[in-house]
Structure 1
Amino acid sequence: MSLLLTHARYQFLETVRVPIAVIGNGFFPAASMLFFVVPFAGDHPVGATMATASMMIFAVMSSGLFTHGLGVAEDRAQPWDPYTRTLPAGPWPRLGGRILNAVAMTLIGVVPVLLVSALLTEATVTPVRLLLGLGALLVASVPFQLLGLFIGYALPSKAAIAVVQLTLFPMAVGGGLLTNPVDAPAFIDAVAPFLPSRGAVELVWAAIGHGTPGTLPLVMFGVWTAAAGALAAWAYRRDEGNRFR
């Protein structure tokens, strides 16, 4: 546990020493709130509350994919990374530290979204529901963190940034995060249940007291999580075998 916390602290300090990395983590979800939610659903309590949850999932996706996808790929190119992987502690303190760092970045990333929602919309939620929503948000982050780890260990940094972008925005749009949560287009309704972003946002909607998660979105959320976990483990073993055999 002490090694895990040491790795988490080191990686967190390494991240916050580049302020744009922290600012960018919350900028796009907060900007989406300003451009998509405030003008169109800001005066509708239910719509604004559900849209805030959608933007929080967007922040979770951005944090998981960018923190791991780019962070791991860039670390692999540095001489320090192969050295730490030869130490006898094993992979779990380093991987656990990465996950804790991503969780911290996730919580930082949702703060601007909550501030925009509280100050500029009619969204409303009780303190208990807010805590439940934050707990659901951490559960919802799992497949995106695993996808980020897969991308980071499978690809070099120049390719990783393109793949992260090509993964983040289609999943956000296809999952209905950037459309009206009460009245989404028919195409989005047809595609969304098969994407992890939809199952993730429905978990948070349910936690804050708006609806019940659908069976298909939850099943597909589990399928994506299992597949992403298997891919992340495969990419890690492949990278280790290629570099240390």
Structure 2
Amino acid sequence: MRAYLRFELRRLIRDPRLALFTVLGPVLTYALFSSMGADGDRFAGLGDAAALMVGLAGYGAVAGVLIVGASVAQERTAGWLRQLRVTPLPSRHAVVAKAVVSMLSAVPAVAAVGIAGRIQHHVELGAGRWAAMLILMWAGTLPFALLGLAIGYGLTPQLAQPVTFVAFLGLAVLGGLLVPVAYFPAWLGDLAHALPTYRLAELGWRSAAGLAPTFAGLGVLAAWTVAFTAFAVLAYRRSTARG
């Protein structure tokens, strides 16, 4: 499994979409819009610059994780998964390795937007808070990695790409990664709190503020992880039966 994981990591590093969608896009968006906000507190004592930094870090992280996970649709069509099944590598190990690689694609986004926040607005959190934000937001991408795999195993490449985009955009906007949930109507705010995107960003916001994750936030992420795991397993079994 370690050899296959190294192989997938090399493929990930060479993928230009990683830099374009998960690093360059969020950093440019942060550089543009963070200068337009006020200096007031937006979340748990964080100023607008720091809060937007975390939101866009989550935005880039989710984008990368979903793109990498959904790429298995193309691999399945190309016959790559069929070749893997005839190797000694157990199928579950292949799935786990792909999920791990998907989650690792979130790290550059969080790091890059964090560096942009430090350079442009002198966001200072302390080494411990930076590390906590990076680690917790990375761990919080697990449900999105499973969602990407479910899309990739369950749909054709022609359908996987638009479905991934719609899922990403909907979760990002409704989860408050681009617009603060405080600006939402009450009913939409309640919806946002039930979405994994908001809870992912909440991990970052609370880490940046020096606060521990909430049980409610972890519970929401755990529930979505279980649900997306079920979808991914079902989609994988169906893809195996077809292949």
TM-score category of the 2 structures, normalised to the smaller one: 0.7 to 0.9
Structure 2 equivalent of residue 180 of structure 1:
180
State the alpha-carbon separation in 2 of the partners of residues 101 and 215 from structure 1. 27
Structure 1 equivalent of residue 29 of structure 2:
32
Indicate conservation of the 8 Å contact 2:57/2:113, yes or no. Answer: yes
The DSSP-based 3-state class of the residue aligned with 1:58 is: helix
Q: If the length of structure 2 is used for normalisation, what is the TM-score?
A: 0.88
Residues 82-101 of structure 1 mapped to structure 2, 5 A cutoff? 82-101=82-101
Percent of pairs with identical residues? 22
The DSSP-based 3-state class of the residue aligned with 1:77 is: helix
Structure 2 equivalent of residue 47 of structure 1:
48
Aligned to 1:22, which of 12, 15, 19? 19
Task: Give the aligned length.
Answer: 238
Indicate conservation of the 8 Å contact 1:46/1:123, yes or no. Answer: no
State the alpha-carbon separation in 1 of the partners of residues 127 and 210 from structure 2. 15
CA offset at residue 152 of structure 1?
Answer: 0.5
Structure 1 equivalent of residue 65 of structure 2:
64
The DSSP-based 3-state class of the residue aligned with 1:235 is: helix
CA offset at residue 41 of structure 1?
Answer: 4.8
- Judging changes above 3 Å, is the alpha-carbon distance between structure 1 residues 194 and 156 closer, same or farther for their aligned structure 2 residues? same
Structure 2: gaps (5+ residues): none
Residues 1-245 of structure 1 mapped to structure 2, 5 A cutoff? 4-41=1-38, 46-69=47-70, 71-180=71-180, 183-187=182-186, 188-209=188-209, 216-243=216-243
Indicate conservation of the 8 Å contact 2:73/2:152, yes or no. Answer: yes
CA offset at residue 209 of structure 1?
Answer: 2.1
Structure 1: gaps (5+ residues): none
CA offset at residue 216 of structure 1?
Answer: 4.8
State the alpha-carbon separation in 1 of the partners of residues 90 and 195 from structure 2. 33
State the alpha-carbon separation in 2 of the partners of residues 221 and 172 from structure 1. 15
State the alpha-carbon separation in 2 of the partners of residues 24 and 63 from structure 1. 7
Across the aligned residues of Structure 1 and Structure 2, the Cα RMSD in angstroms comes to: 2.3
Letter in structure 2 aligned against 1:162: P
State the alpha-carbon separation in 2 of the partners of residues 190 and 82 from structure 1. 43
State the alpha-carbon separation in 2 of the partners of residues 206 and 16 from structure 1. 30
CA deviation string 1:49-72 (max 9, x = no partner): 222111111122111111111x11
State the alpha-carbon separation in 1 of the partners of residues 67 and 17 from structure 2. 13
CA offset at residue 211 of structure 1?
Answer: 5.6
